[in-house]
């Protein structure tokens, strides 16, 4: 059941989450059902791993200004500021989750294994299909290996690890977007051809979810993909004059239909995982629906309705995106107020957009089942 703010008094757990997400100080003495977060994924969740590996390609500039503009310093996040995972941590009264490759970090609040540019499928699988991969790409299989290495270094025994992980929240994704992005951006696969890869991508995500369950995970969130047809990058690359492919929001219907296809397959697999593991809380996070909710309520949420599909940071053009002149490189500039924009650099979102999506997931019923969401955020 979605909880609406206008429907009377909110449960304390939900109110606490909302206050935290809105930036209102609350007492840290409240105990939550989650005491750590372990995250796997790509640039939607990376809080600094790629920066420490050495960013290249699309991500070469994430370690320098204007990335981190709202935080007044670059952190390795592909945004002007915070990400969805950061708002999840805040809502759970946890410290922001440090990247695994920050060896001097305090991992008391969990570990983030997500890496910008990461794919679900291994490099070899994608290379065989002709998809070129960035040198620093870290697939899910490598991230789960990092996780096991972390456990080996911090748990005296398997029983101790299982006890430790029982109180943790696992974010398995968002992942899979780059498996498709690389093929689409390189122009080597059609939408129809890429549909053949969806079962492999979904299976890989499920395999990781099953693996962490085997290791002791009891609370898992598996997000779907965003509507890529609303991304300035896709709009810039694939919009055709006179085409009937744009919907009423200005997004590309064909690419959004592909993202929806991936999400439908993923939801079926998530339902199967839930039925096979009745003692584990498995939540599907509808990033697609939450993003569309943001667009449809943009003015209420404080976004500039005339610039919803235009990047804040870029080199000009209809969508302020140029694949050859990415945000942070010579010839680009960023908007004065990223909080009024949805897209940060044409591929990733602004802090304010991630905040709105996090709120939608917690408060507006875009994470299901709702009772499981309430249970996770019970403080």
Question: What residue segments make up the domains of the chain, in order of their start?
Answer: 12-236+252-288+360-376
The answer to whether residue 5 scores a pLDDT higher than 80 is no
pLDDT at 26 over 60: no
Q: Where are the beta strands (DSSP E) in the chain?
A: 36-40, 110-112, 168-172, 219-223, 281-285, 313-314, 333-334, 367-368
Q: How confident is the model at residue 6 (pLDDT cuts 50, 70, 90)?
A: very low
Tally the residues of the chain: 379
Q: Do the strands 313-314 and 281-285 form a parallel or antiparallel pair, or are they unpaired?
A: unpaired
Q: Among 48-52, 154-158, 263-267, which is the least confidently predicted range?
A: 154-158
Better-scored residue on pLDDT, 11 or 214: 214
| Annotation says 348 is catalytic | yes
- Exactly one of 17, 39, 42, 43 is catalytic; which is it? 43
Contact 37, 88 (CB under 8 A): yes
pLDDT over threshold 70, residue 22: no
Any idea what DSSP says for residue 28?
T
Task: Tell me, yes or no, if 142 is annotated catalytic.
Answer: no
Residue 33 catalytic?
A: no
CB count within 10 Å of CB 291 equals 24
- CATH of the domain spanning 12-236+252-288+360-376: 3.40.50
Higher per-residue confidence, 207 vs 160: 207
DSSP string, 244-262: S-B-TTS-BHHHHHHHHHH
User: What pLDDT shows up at residue 136?
Assistant: 63
- Residue 187: the pLDDT is 87
- Helices 253-276, 287-296: axis angle to 10 degrees equals 130
pLDDT at position 24 is 47
Structure letter (DSSP) for residue 99: B
pLDDT band at 158 (very low <50, low <70, confident <90, very high): confident
Give the pLDDT of residue 4.
35
Global pTM exceeds 0.75 = yes
Q: Give yes or no for a contact between 69 and 80, defined as CB atoms under 8 angstroms apart.
A: yes
Apex 358 CA angle, 256 and 296, nearest 5: 50
d(CA 379, CA 375): 9
Q: Is the pLDDT of residue 128 over 90?
A: no
Give the pLDDT score at 327.
97
Given 42, 79, 343, 348, the catalytic residue: 348
Distance of alpha carbon 55 from alpha carbon 52, whole angstroms: 8
pLDDT in tens, 168-213: 999 999 999 999 999 999 988 899 999 999 999 999 999 999 999 9
- Average confidence score pLDDT of the chain: 90
């Amino acid at each position: 059941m979605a909880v609406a703010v206008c429907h009377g008094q909110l449960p304390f757990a939900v109110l606490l989450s909302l206050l935290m997400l809105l930036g209102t100080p609350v007492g840290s003495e409240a105990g939550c059902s989650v005491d750590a977060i372990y995250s796997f994924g790509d640039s939607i969740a990376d809080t600094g791993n790629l920066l420490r590996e050495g960013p290249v390609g699309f991500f070469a500039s994430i370690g320098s200004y204007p990335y981190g503009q709202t935080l007044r310093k670059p952190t390795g996040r592909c945004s002007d500021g915070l990400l969805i995972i950061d708002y999840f941590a805040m809502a759970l009264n946890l410290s922001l989750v440090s990247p695994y490759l920050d060896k001097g970090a305090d991992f008391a609040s969990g570990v983030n294994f997500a890496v910008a540019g990461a794919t679900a499928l291994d490099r070899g699988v994608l290379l065989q299909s002709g998809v070129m991969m960035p040198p620093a790409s870290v697939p899910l299989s490598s991230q789960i290996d990092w996780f096991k290495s972390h456990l080996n270094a911090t748990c005296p025994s398997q029983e101790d690890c299982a006890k430790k992980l029982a109180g943790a929240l696992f974010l398995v994704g968002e992942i899979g977007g780059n498996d498709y992005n690389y093929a689409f951006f390189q122009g080597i696969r059609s939408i129809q051809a890429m549909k053949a890869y969806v079962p492999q991508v979904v299976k890989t995500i499920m395999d990781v979810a099953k693996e962490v369950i085997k290791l002791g995970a009891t609370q898992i969130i598996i997000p779907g993909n965003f509507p890529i047809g609303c991304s300035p990058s896709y709009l810039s690359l694939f919009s055709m004059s006179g085409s009937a492919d744009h919907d009423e929001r200005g997004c590309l219907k064909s690419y959004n239909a592909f993202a929806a296809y991936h999400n439908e397959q993923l939801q079926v697999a998530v339902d199967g995982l839930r039925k096979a593991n009745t003692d584990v809380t498995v939540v599907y996070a509808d990033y697609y629906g939450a993003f569309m909710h943001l667009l449809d309520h943009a003015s209420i949420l404080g976004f500039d309705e005339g610039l919803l599909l235009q990047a804040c940071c870029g080199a000009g053009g209809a969508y302020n995106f140029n694949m050859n002149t990415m945000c942070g490189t010579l010839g680009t500039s960023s908007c004065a107020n990223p909080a009024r924009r949805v897209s940060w650099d044409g591929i990733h979102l602004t802090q304010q957009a991630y905040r709105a999506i996090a709120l939608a997931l917690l408060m507006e019923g875009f994470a299901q089942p709702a009772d499981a969401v309430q249970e996770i955020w019970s403080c």
